[in-house]
Amino acid sequence: MSRKGPVTSDTSTIALGLAQIRVGSSSDNIAVDTATLSASDSIGALANTKFTGNTDWYKLESGFPLIEDYTTPIREGAQLECSFKEITPLNMGLAYGYDPLATPFSGYEVHSGEVPLGARSAPDYVRMEAVYTYPNGSNFMYIVAPRAQVSASVEVDLAEEDAAAVPVVFEFKRADSEMTGGDAVWDDRPLGRIYWT
């Protein structure tokens, strides 16, 4: 008897588990369109990872009653949300919008450093790479944000029987050559890219 419904055509494409989030210098890597950061640039253990491609659409309608004739995008954005479990000066600084590779954060250790409160300004630009390994261990999906800012209202929910997970949002910003600090490699994909190997 033949199977019916949406049966699996390729089990190697099924996504299960979290992506590893790596953060590095935007300016030093702006001309690189492939994942270039290493596992040592990871922000560590995570509670979740979620990519969202935001699009606002214009819909042309005509007639009576109105019927849709045409749809076109009028605004596009992208973001990656995650919640990190490793509460370190670097990760907390990132949540507050600081570049973890800039001074003084670059000199901090796992249990040594500080994050200033009450002095926030526009978040620094960072490079964010999400590296997802498929369950078969040999296929990968990469999400590259060459120029991102972290926006978050920082919450550290300490619980009696579970690890705290601090939510942050990496907002993808333009990285094309018409933007100061951008590069021509991003001209046809100004917010970044998703690719597979």
Q: Express each pLDDT in 40-74 by its tens digit.
A: 999 999 999 999 999 999 999 999 999 999 999 99
- Residue span of the structural domain in which 32 resides: 16-56+63-196
Residues listed for the chain: 197
**Cα(174)–Cα(3) distance, integer angstroms:** 46
Residue 8 counted as domain residue: no
Please state the rounded mean pLDDT for residues 96-103: 92
DSSP-assigned beta bridge partners for residue 70: 60
Residue 101 counted as domain residue: yes
pLDDT band with cut points at 50, 70 and 90 for residue 152: confident
Number of domains in the chain: 1
Q: Which two tokens stand for residue 194?
A: 């998703």
Entry pTM: 0.93
Residue 11 counted as domain residue: no
Residue 6 counted as domain residue: no
The residue assigned the tokens 């000199």 is 107
**Strand, helix or coil at 1?**
coil
At 91, which helix (H) or strand (E)? helix 89-95
**Cα(110)–Cα(42) distance, integer angstroms:** 13
